[in-house]
Each structure stands twice: as C-alpha cells, then as structure tokens.
Amino acid sequence: MGMTMTQKILAAAAGLDQAEAGQLIEAKLDLVLGNDITSPVAIHEMDKFNKETVFDKDKIALVMDHFIPNKDIKSAEHCKCVREFACQHDITNYFDVGQMGIEHALLPEQGLTVAGDVIIGADSHTCTYGALGAFSTGVGSTDMAAGMVTGKAWFKVPSALKFNLVGKPSKWVSGKDVILHIIGMIGVDGALYQSMEFAGEGIASLSMDDRLTISNMAIEAGAKNGIFPVDEQTIAYMKEHSRREYKVYEADADAVYEKEYTIDLSQLKPTVAFPHLPENTKTVDEIAEPVVIDQSVIGSCTNGRISDLRCAAEILKGRKVKKGVRCIVIPGTQQIYLQAMEEGLLKIFIEAGAVVSTPTCGPCLGGYMGILAAGERCISTTNRNFVGRMGHVDSEVYLASPAVAAASAVTGKICAPSELGM
C-alpha cells in the first residue's frame, strides 16, 4: 500500500519500512519547541523524571513570545523559569527579548526547521512547518517534557485528506484566503486528526509565506498537520535560511486519502471568517450589511511576515486609518521588523496612524497589546476568533488577510482593497 508524505516521514523516524493510518509508533524527534506559556509546565513535569539533562541541547527551541516583553509579574516569573532552565541546560536555541520573534515565524527564518523533520511543539500552531515538507504538530506540555528528555514521541499515524490546488490567485488573494476558504468548506472538524496534504500545479503560484500561513491554520480544521510537497521554492528557502541537511519525501502515486478536494485558486475572493469560528466564512462581496470595526490587527504567527507587511503598507501608503479605529501592526520577528524599517514600511504605518509593536503574540490570545472591550469588533490577521479570544466575551473577532485588514482600517468597516480603488 502506498504512503502519503506524512506517513513516509513518520515511518522513517520510527525506523519502519511502512506506516499505516491508525498505527501507533514511536518516532525520533528533530526538534522540540516550547514558549513562555507552555514551557514552564513542561519544565516542572521534567523535574519529576529525575533526569539530569535534555536529550540534545541543539534540538530544543525555547521562544519567549506570548507575553514578551513581560506584561505582568506572572509572565515575568514564567520567563524567569524558562530562562534559568535554558541556562542550566545550555540550550542553544533560546530566544529572549532582543533576539526573539513569534515562534512560528522565527524558527523557519532561523533555519531550525527543514524538509523531512519530525517536530513537536507545545503550541497548537506548530503545524506551520509543514510548509517546508516537515511533519510538525502541536502537543501538550507533558509530551514536550518527555520529548526534551527522550528525544522521542508516540504518534498515531494519521489518515490524510488531499487538496489539489489549481490555477493562480488574483491580486489581493493570498494564502490566508485559501485556508479560510478551505476551513469554510470542510468545517473546523473537517480534518479531525488527519493530515491535510496539498498538491497540484497551483502550489507553484503560492509563495513560501502563503504556504506557511496555510499550514499554520491546518489545526483550525482539526488537522494533525498540514504539509506541502518540496519544490524549487522550498529548496531555495531552505538554502537561504538553513545549513541543515534536509530530506525530501514524496507521496506515492497509490497513497490512500480519505477524501480529495480540488481548489481553483483563480476563483477565490478575499475571505473573512465571522465570529465565533474560523469556519463561519464569507467572501467580502457577500457581506450584505456594513461591519463597522474598532480595531485592526496586522501580524501574528499567521500573517506577520515581511510580505504581509508589504501588502498592508501598499494599501496604507498615502492613506489614513479612519478616526476611531485602532490599527496595530506587529512584525513577526526582529529581522522582519528591521527589514520593514529599512524598506520604509514602518514610516508608512506610522504616518497612516497605526502603531507598530515589538514582535509578540500579544493580542492574538487576548494577552496584551490590543485587548477588546465589550461590544468591540476587531478585524485581525490572526488565526482564531473564538468567544473571548481577544478580550471580553462580548467582543467580536473577524479573521482576514493583511490586505483586507489594512483596507478595513482605512474605511472603518470590513472591505476589500477594491473599495479603495486598488
């Protein structure tokens, strides 16, 4: 029986010739990830194992990103715990204030994730790295602790869904619109504990940033992971960012998929997920009544990369954020922040009336840097819009691309760039 990309990667990591859906395996890990919220729990669990050190100090990444710089005493204590652990075990890939970024933007940029890897992270959006042809998935802090000690993890091999992408997206349609369209089509449990595997000639028209965005939100469809085939773009990206060896796995021609879907990228339109689930999608032209907003957030591990900031800047240049709207721009990493500064993007944002934050997850999880009050609405390039996700339980979050978020900041209501004559 043929295997999917995911099944091949897991089989190799488990030392097996074959891996089938539903099979339980123990696989070697190439990277174990934690952040300032989840790592302290894992560290305290690891203390119970009576192990003196980690399995490999080079294969653990600890990224302080959710409440950094610290917003309160509790977050400061969490970071202190992780900081001391990283020092004690001489963790190579420890990222704190000044070097940190939003973890899922930072790790690919730093070359810590490459094709063929098996990666676990105590953060649900660890599935981001499937854009590079890796198997990556989120786990709980206890599994993170076991991974740091043993360098291994147990998995149930997932079955798979295949998404054939054809055509080429039009202007202002990005990877965010692709994944919102898919989630709207299959639902938030449409890929429950399955691998979302992307294929087709349309992939060539998607940038690496688009693919990272799509893989990032696989979990919003309930998927175990999302994964893209390795092509010339992928290889060029890895060569630019990493010196690590990578391994390319390709799905067999007779691989078994639970379902197959075909998505014509040329037919997609700017898409918005309405409260309070990512599956509640509408294209912008389907919105009948004006949705007035109080805040626009452009950033996060989903859409805080340089191409996202360039897109937003193109729309905001020479325009003003509507009075009464708060527009918050958050570069994904320090390197992206610096590049945006060198390209003059920060000047455009500030002149438009937006504010620019240091890299942080901040408002995405209702942490800080953009909390919503009761009755407020936010258009956001983040990945979740659950009840109370960004603040008060009576607030609303609408998920969209940087293009839609920027255009909406200008008009004060949810709209596409076309409404600005673009």
132, two tokens: 């590079």
Kindly state whether residues 26 and 63 are assigned to the same domain: yes
CATH number at residue 180: 3.30.499.10
Kindly state whether residues 190 and 220 are assigned to the same domain: yes
Kindly state whether residues 296 and 254 are assigned to the same domain: no
Number of H helices, E strands in the chain: 13, 18
Please give the full DSSP string across 62-130, using - where no structure is assigned: EE--SS-S--SHHHHHHHHHHHHHHHHTT-SEEE-TTT-B-HHHHHHHTT---TT-EEEESSGGGGGGG
Q: Write down the pLDDT at residue 419.
A: 87
Q: Write down the pLDDT at residue 242.
A: 92
Q: Write down the pLDDT at residue 52.
A: 78
Kindly state whether residues 318 and 232 are assigned to the same domain: no
Kindly state whether residues 77 and 194 are assigned to the same domain: yes
Residue 417 has what DSSP assignment?
A: G
Q: Is residue 180 within 8 Å of 210, Cβ to Cβ? A: no
94: helix, coil or strand? strand
Q: Write down the pLDDT at residue 369.
A: 93
Kindly state whether residues 223 and 362 are assigned to the same domain: no
246, two tokens: 């990578």
Listed in sequence order, the residues at least 6 apart from 367 whose beta carbon sits closer than 8 Å to its beta carbon are: 66, 67, 71, 360, 361
- Give the orientation angle of helix 208-216 with respect to helix 306-316, to 10 degrees: 100
Q: Which amino acid is at 124?
A: S
Strands 194-199 and 31-35: unpaired
Q: Write down the pLDDT at residue 422.
A: 81
Kindly state whether residues 329 and 285 are assigned to the same domain: yes
Domain that holds residue 345: 271-420
What's the length of the chain?
422
| pLDDT < 70: residue spans in the chain | none
Which residues are 37's β-sheet partners?
none
- Give me the number of domains the chain comprises: 2
Q: Write down the pLDDT at residue 251.
A: 96
Kindly state whether residues 297 and 369 are assigned to the same domain: yes
Strands 377-380 and 295-298: parallel
Kindly state whether residues 403 and 353 are assigned to the same domain: yes
Kindly state whether residues 245 and 315 are assigned to the same domain: no
Q: Write down the pLDDT at residue 420.
A: 87
Kindly state whether residues 16 and 144 are assigned to the same domain: yes
**Beta strands in 179-317, from DSSP E residues, in sequence order:** 194-199, 225-227, 259-264, 271-273, 281-283, 295-298
Pick from 249, 264, 279: which residue ends a domain?
264
Cα–Cα distance between 34 and 366 in angstroms, integer?
19
Question: pTM of whole model > 0.85?
Answer: yes
Pick from 264, 295, 327: which residue ends a domain?
264
Kindly state whether residues 278 and 140 are assigned to the same domain: no
Pick from 245, 264, 283: which residue ends a domain?
264
